[in-house]
Amino acid sequence: MEKVYVIGVGMTKVGEHWEKSLRELFVEAGLKAMKDAGVERDDIEAVIVGNMSSGFMQGQEHLGPLMSTYLGLRGVAAAKVESACGSGGIAFHYAFLSIASGLYDCILVGGVEKMTDVATPDVLSALIMADDQEYVASTGITFAGLNALVYREYMKKYGVKQEDIALFSVHDHKYAKNNPYAQFPFEVTLEQVMSSPLVADPIRLLESSPISDGAAALILCNEKKARLLGKEILIEVAGSAVATDILSPYEREDLTTLFATRKAAEKAFKMAKVAPSDINVMEVHDAYSILGPMHLEDLGFAKKGEGIFLVKEGEIEKDGKIPTNMSGGLKARGHPVGATGIYQIAEIVLQLRGEAGENQVSNAEIGLAQSVGGVGSSVAVNILRRVR
């Protein structure tokens, strides 16, 4: 396989972009990534777009040629990848495979979602499509409701208090305040989280990721292209893997373990030839606070039921054992669902370059980004390494 490098990063601020369209957000991020990489339009051979719900929310599909058209990239290969909230991370995986195979030298991969164009009930209708529309969504349950079932089972099975799980939201906001791309760049207290309104019992509003607009993009290339561009710092994609689980959580033997995360992590660690103890910085998919501790466990950093102790004991802080969600996570950085996986990888790239500002982790050389579609129905784990 060819070695694959991330040489360019571009992001828009996450928020409510009433003045910008879906295509404008993607083009803004894409052009920033191209400028950061130092590539011209003729260098780009393919465009891969991660997106979940443009057909439902904007009435617009065929995003590959749409975005390549507005980027001025006529003639390139282009397509959309959809895998619910994991669309961005999985789009990145396929971009990685396309270069690793030797088929392409340089690819622009991005993610975009514009969720504020429609009313909240319509957003909920879009999100529940991450599960079985015919057999699950027809009951009236929301996506938050599915995660609430997981939350209750986790507390019951491991004897964990909600206050301990809710600390993950407090952690996210602590770092979002330093992130110029964050939707909610301010701190919150545990008392504020626990007194916020219920969304789906026991999940509270300040434990839930927001409705967000945003786009992020990355430029990937092979070693020959990277050397020609004379990059001083190279960020290699050391491992990239995707796995799936039974679509609906109610059909699984254990609601509190995400099989797809464990499977994808196992593959990615093996490919990268590293172990969890080698990871210096990490971004995990915490659309709801309960997912944060669960992912710490399923990725191999804690035993089942003990992920909360990493949070309580400061081990996921900037100077902790495994700095996690230095971006503010989905909760505070924001969660434009199809773009989230790309944002996560972009944040890891900035960390490995030493460009993460006040949230910079010292001596970060290996980073991991985990992106989740549905309630763990599809998961991408991507491991990046600084090589010079």
The residues carrying an active-site annotation are 85, 335
Between CA 60 and CA 55 the distance in angstroms is: 5
Q: Exposure of 307 by Cβ count < 10 A (0-12 exposed, 13-18 middle, 19+ buried)?
A: buried
Parallel/antiparallel/unpaired status of strands 106-114 and 213-222: antiparallel
Residues 6+ apart with CB under 8 A from 4: 96, 99, 100, 220, 221, 222, 236, 237
- Contacts of residue 360, defined as CB under 8 A and 6 or more positions apart, other chains included, come to 318, 326, 351, 354
Centroid of chain to Cα 248? 21
Alpha-carbon span 45 to 77, nearest angstrom: 7
CA separation for the pair 69, 76 (Å, rounded): 9
Query: With left for phi above 0 and alpha for psi between -120 and 50, is residue 305 left, alpha or beta?
Result: left
Q: Dihedral of CA 219/221/225/231: which sign?
A: positive
- CA 280 to chain CA centroid, Å, is 17
Residues 6+ apart with CB under 8 A from 304: 158, 256, 257, 297
Residue at 157: amino acid letter: K
368 contacts 381 by C-beta, under 8 angstroms: yes
d(CA 182, CA 77): 32
- What does the DSSP 8-state code read for residue 258? -
Cα-Cα-Cα-Cα dihedral sign, residues 216, 21, 123, 213: positive
At residue 329, what are phi and psi to the nearest 5 degrees?
Answer: 65, 180
